[in-house]
Structure 1
């Protein structure tokens, strides 16, 4: 798992530049339609996360800005 959430709702992300920490309340999860994956942007970089990680982040207080793609949607990878 690339994301760890502690008891204080602080999220720890493993990135190529080391560990980044953010309160869950400062995060927004969005969808990359080209890869059909959820992402969080940190310092202008995209961190791809699993749906289980995205769900855990929303429970911790992150904003859920994901768009659920359908096979019939334009640009859908499904």
Structure 2
């Protein structure tokens, strides 16, 4: 899991070494990568991809939900 939430503070794992950066939930903006059909948070110049469950948990804590719904336009798509 790339996101951990404690006391309205969100901790994001930045890399494979486990380095984390934290932000208050109210300063987090959740966006959508339309090409990958995935949600992400932009942090430290990186796109940190998160699950929809993580995105929902962040919005409950006060994060801004800037996601858009992506729908399949090709037959057989997984989305």
1:50 corresponds to 2:51: yes
Task: Report if the CA contact (8 A) 1:33-1:77 is conserved.
Answer: no
Counterpart for residue 13 of structure 1: 12
State the superposition RMSD in angstroms.
1.7
With the length of structure 1 as denominator, give the TM-score of the two structures: 0.87
What is aligned with 1:39?
A: 40
Gaps of 5+ in 2: none
Identify the residue that residue 3 of structure 1 maps to in structure 2: 3
- Supply the distance in 1 between the matched residues of 2:69 and 2:78 (Cα, whole angstroms): 11
Cα distance between partner residues in 1 of 2:78 and 2:65: 20
Residues 25-72 of structure 1 deviation map (CA, whole Å, 9 limit, x = unaligned): 001100001110000000111000000000000000000000001224
Q: How many residues align?
A: 74
Q: Distance in 2 between matches of 1:29 and 1:77?
A: 22
Deviation of 1:20 (Å): 0.5
Compute the TM-score of the two structures, normalised by the length of structure 2.
0.86
